[in-house]
Chain A
Amino acid sequence: MFALFFVWPAAIGLYYSFTSYTGVGPARFVGLDNYTSLFADSSFYAALTRTLLFTLMVVPATYVVSLLSAVLLTSEYTRGKTVARVIFFVPWLISPIVAGVIWRWLFGENFGLVNYLLLQVGLHEVAWQSNGNLSLIIVVIASTWGSTAFTMLLFIAALKSVPKSYYEAAALDGAGPWHKFRYITLPGIAPTSFIVVLLGTIGAMKEYALIQALNGGGPGSENNLIVQYIYRTGFERAQIGYASAASFVLLLILMVIALVQMLVNRRMEANR
């Protein structure tokens, strides 16, 4: 099964990426043509840059917010943790499609709650949908909102496994909360942090449903992400060979990112 649905598609995908296959008829071998035209295609670059930009914003945002909420949920100083946990989890349950609808509803230009509130406090309405950068930021917010709970769960498990005696020792040495967090908590959850960043990066690089529901990659095609690009060329324009080439570029990028992160992780562990 594994071979059938992962190894085999990968292999024929690699083969088709060298052909001009359109889904029907014979696949004509065209060598590296797909790759050369891909690297000459400005909309491919645009999609790639947008994807990287999106990843660079989502991953740190999710990391910070979910770590903060995990710390607060495991802290002895907070009240009402049970209710808070349930509420934090709801966004994770909501499908990316519905999440897209929710944020579109909040940030609508003529009817959204956010613009209404801005007007109430005497500010101007903001063009959330027709400004490409702003609409990307909304996707970042929505994505962070939706993926916090899962990451938070990983952090909670990690925080619980940091030995309590370290904190007691630090307290005797007169360490403040920030020092404890910086020198005990952060190193203690380092393996989890690594996983979170890795999974987050991979997840963000292949985001599709949320952006599709939120703004359809718009305004125009300004916020098309890489998977959208693959979907459009492969399934709407039936250039399967070309889309396969784009898939492989994405795959290669993911692998490089994963390798770099693993190397950095190893080096950090060696230094400790």
Chain B
Amino acid sequence: MSATTAQRPSPSAQRKAAQRSRRRAEAPRTLGATAVLWLLVVVYGVPVAWFVLSSIKPAGELFSYPLTLFSKQPTLAGYSQAWTQFDFYRYFGNTLLVATITTVLTVIASAAAGYALAKYRSWWLSAFAVCVIATTMLPTEVILSPSFLVVRDLGLYNHLAGVIVPSILTATGVFMFRQFFTTVPDELLEAARIDGSSELQTFFRIMLPISRPIMITLAIFSFQWRWNDYIWPLIVLNDPKQYTLQIALQSIVGAENVNWSVLLGASVISMAPLVLLYLVFQRYVMSADLNAGLKD
């Protein structure tokens, strides 16, 4: 259909005039759409803004009416109190360890599984694919108590490994890679074989490097999932020394008398690393074609 428009002769002057009038006709529409978009942005942004702005108010000002958006005497007291009162170094360390190790292993496992599903044919691979789809149906939350028993019987209870190991395999990751590797031509694989490269070499030297965008996207997602994980670490970890950030935070929330200024400070501290990470890598997240991994 677009061909018909192109065929119609239109001198440049006429086209320019048409364009100008079109732009004028579109002005209200641009205004309307932009207004709606920014209304949504405000609705989404205000809770965070209010929260962060409140966290730099001195404790006395938090509840004093009339409420003000900006503090009269901004202070970092809430932060320093939260920082000294809680073992943040330890919680950060634990969470960072869990999130990083899980992410690395998730990326490797998903890449290998996705590659196998895309490039090799055998009956047990198809069976495995069905099982992976089933895991999206069978999240850990649903089989909490039995999963807990398995981890306990393996001797992983109260170890960070108990948090890490069960969360390595994710269906989303496997499918993201599978979808990507099906688009890689088989000729590349055969050429490598003819050159005498072993299957493992082909995988590590050729396939992994070309899947870099997928790796980065999955890494960001996986890191976010693990950083924010709550219920599974809560069940596996019992010793406060092993606590991850989210459990530690929830223990302040659950207290009888909430010390809001400490809680606000601690919450902002806990979300800062992830927000920074996101700002650095956000262009990868935005260009991710997630549907490729999920459509199947």
List A residues at the B interface (Cβ < 8 Å): 1-2, 4-10, 12-13, 16, 23, 65, 68-69, 72-73, 75, 77-81, 83-98, 100-106, 110-111, 113, 116, 145, 148, 153-154, 157-158, 161, 164-165, 168-169, 172, 191-192, 195, 199, 202, 206, 208-209, 212-213, 216, 227, 230-231, 234-235, 240, 243-244, 247, 250-251, 254-255, 258
Contacts and interface: CB of A to CB of B under 8 A. Distances in A.
Nearest to B45: A87
B211 interface: no
A65 B143 contact: no
Given A5-B150, A105-B260, A208-B230, A72 B37 contact: yes
B50 to A, nearest CB: 6
A165 B67 contact: no
B268 to A, nearest CB: 8
A177 to B, nearest CB: 8
A103 B290 CA distance: 29
Interface in B222-267: 224, 227-228, 230-231, 235, 246, 249-250, 253-254, 260, 263-264, 267
Contacts of A83: 41
Interface stretch (B80-88, B130-138, B176-184): B130-138
Contacts of B138: 6, 10, 251
Contacts of A1: 109, 165, 168-169
Contacts of A116: 65-67
Contact of A145 (B47, B141, B230, B282): B47
Contact of B150 (A9, A113, A168): A9
B294 A216 contact: no
Contact of A2 (B34, B62, B132, B146): B132
Given A89-B282, A191-B295, A254-B142, A145 B44 contact: yes
Contacts of B36: 68, 72
B258 to A, nearest CB: 8
A195 B279 CA distance: 27
Of B142, B144, B288, chain A has the most CB atoms within 10 Å of the CB of B142
B146 A213 contact: no
Contact of B246 (A75, A92, A95, A106): A95
Interface of B: 1-2, 4-5, 26, 29-30, 32-34, 36-38, 40-41, 44-45, 47-48, 50-51, 54, 62-63, 65-67, 109, 128, 131-132, 134-150, 165-166, 168-169, 224, 227-228, 230-231, 235, 246, 249-250, 253-254, 260, 263-264, 267, 270-271, 274-275, 278-279, 282, 285-286, 288-291, 294-295
B40 A8 contact: no
A-B CB proximity, top 3 nearest: A13-B146, A95-B228, A209-B230
Nearest to A71: B33
B50 A106 contact: yes
Contact of B41 (A88, A93, A216): A88
A98 B169 contact: no
